[in-house]
Amino acid sequence: MKIFVLNSARHLLKGTGRLQSSRFSDGEIYVRIIDDVKDERIILLANTNPPAENLLELILALDALRRQNAKVHLIIPYISYARQDRASIEGEAVSAEAMSRMLRQYNPASITVIDAHSGRLKKFLDFNDVSALRLLLSRLRVSERKNMVIAAPDKGAVERAKKASEMLKCSVVLLEKHRPGHDLAKIRAAHGDVKRKNVLIIDDMIDTGGTVIAAAEFLKKAGARDIIVAATHAVLSGDAVKRLDASKIKKVLVTDSLKCNPGRRFRIVKLDKSIREIIGGINGR
Ligand code: R5P
């Protein structure tokens, strides 16, 4: 089965299928599938971040593949536009639904995502969600696991935090987060004791870094010792890396689902083996 890899995922795996993706002078994207994959099963690997251009590149690749009637198994390690999955005030777009509709219209044979933002995306899109949590946790040192509690920085992180607490056999502290504006995060309260404990903050992604930085500040004030963050996707927009390096967080564990330039506190966990396993599973179907 040929594997086509778009620009956004080339750091993860080398493709075996040939495609051309380039730009016209006005910025429009051009995609051509060079190999003949008529009626074949193929794998298409792509991230959709940064979202505008990579989502569109993916749509164009799906269009080109549909013209050859290829059966596309789509692997999207980081799927963007998954966070706005409901309209909380009147007049808002539900981008998770709009993005899902775009993908669905190409009727992929399967879609696999790594740690999708939330299960609510399944309302709009049928996909397999592969968890990188065990892999991330396996990179904690024995000394770091001692006297540890897990913190969920918001309601959305509770399920993951609970899974992590089962794996590491420790308790969970729930933080109350609110967003006073786009890309801003404040922690109001913590439910659970963190005094003199090492705290592992679990989240699906670090975007601006606002959530985990605010959580770390709150936890430190509440008496926590070392703060470590484990998150699957390093979106790291704006000056997130600089802010994280200057924060109270001792170590940031993230996967390489997205290509990033990590700061000095980062440890990158490679996903190549997980991606190969996903491909192996699709091959075996
Ligand atoms: C929110 O619901 C997500 O799970 C993350 O907590 C959030 O998207 C991280 O964004 P930021 O780093 O910008 O606070």
Write the single-letter amino acid at 87.
A
Q: Tokens 């995502």 appear where?
A: 113
Pairing of strands 29-33, 19-23: antiparallel
Ligand 1 centre from 49 Cα, in Å? 15
- For ligand 1, pick from 80, 203, 239 the residue to mutate: most ligand atoms within 8 Å of CB: 203
pLDDT at position 109, please? 98
What is the rounded average pLDDT for all residues in the chain?
97
> 211 CA distance to ligand 1 centroid (A)?
6
Find the 270 Cα to ligand 1 centroid distance in Å. Answer: 21
DSSP-assigned letter for residue 202:
E
In the reported structure, the alpha carbon of residue 72 is separated from the centroid of ligand 1 by a whole-number distance in angstroms of 30
At 254, is the pLDDT very low, low, confident or very high (cuts 50, 70, 90)? very high
Q: Which atom of ligand 1 is nearest to the CA of 214?
A: 14
Active-site position among 177, 195, 221, 259: 177
Q: What is the pLDDT of residues 176-203, one digit of tens each?
A: 999 998 889 999 999 999 999 999 999 9
Judged by DSSP in three states, 243 sits in helix
232, containing H or E segment: strand 227-234
Which of 78, 159, 207 is the pocket-test mutation for ligand 1 (most atoms within 8 Å of CB)? 207
- Give residues (CB < 6 A) around ligand 1: 83, 153-154, 156-157, 183, 185, 203-211
Mutation to probe ligand 1, out of 133, 178, 206, 258 (largest number of atoms < 8 A from CB): 206
Residue 285 pLDDT greater than 90, yes or no: no
In 39-197, DSSP assigns E strands to 41-45, 71-76, 110-114, 128-130, 148-152, 172-178, 186-191
Omega into 50 within 30° of 0, i.e. cis? Answer: yes
Q: Which atom of ligand 1 is nearest to the CA of 207?
A: 12
**Distances 3 to 13, 25, 86 between C-alpha atoms, Å:** 9, 28, 34
Q: Is 177 exposed, middle or buried (0-12, 13-18, 19+ CB in 10 A)?
A: buried
The answer to whether the beta carbons of residues 58 and 46 sit under 8 Å apart is yes
Predicted TM-score of the model (pTM): 0.96
Q: In the prediction, which pLDDT does 123 show?
A: 97
User: Per-residue pLDDT tens for 57-96?
Assistant: 999 999 999 999 999 999 999 999 999 999 999 999 999 9
List, in order of start, the domains of the chain with CATH numbers: 2-130 (3.40.50.2020), 133-270 (3.40.50.2020)
Residues 6+ apart with CB under 8 A from 27: none
Judge whether 71 counts as a catalytic residue: no
Residue 117 alpha carbon, nearest atom of ligand 1: 4
pLDDT digits (tens, 9 = 90+) for 6-52: 999 999 999 999 999 999 999 999 999 999 999 999 999 999 999 99
- At residue 258, φ and ψ (nearest 5 deg) are -115, 145
Among 136, 139, 135, 117, residue whose Cα is nearest residue 127: 117
What's the farthest any 2 CA atoms get from each other in the chain?
A: 62
Q: Which residue's CA is the closest to the ligand 1 atom numbered 5?
A: 205
- Ligand 1 centre and the CA of 205: distance in Å? 6
Provide the 8-state DSSP code for 141.
-
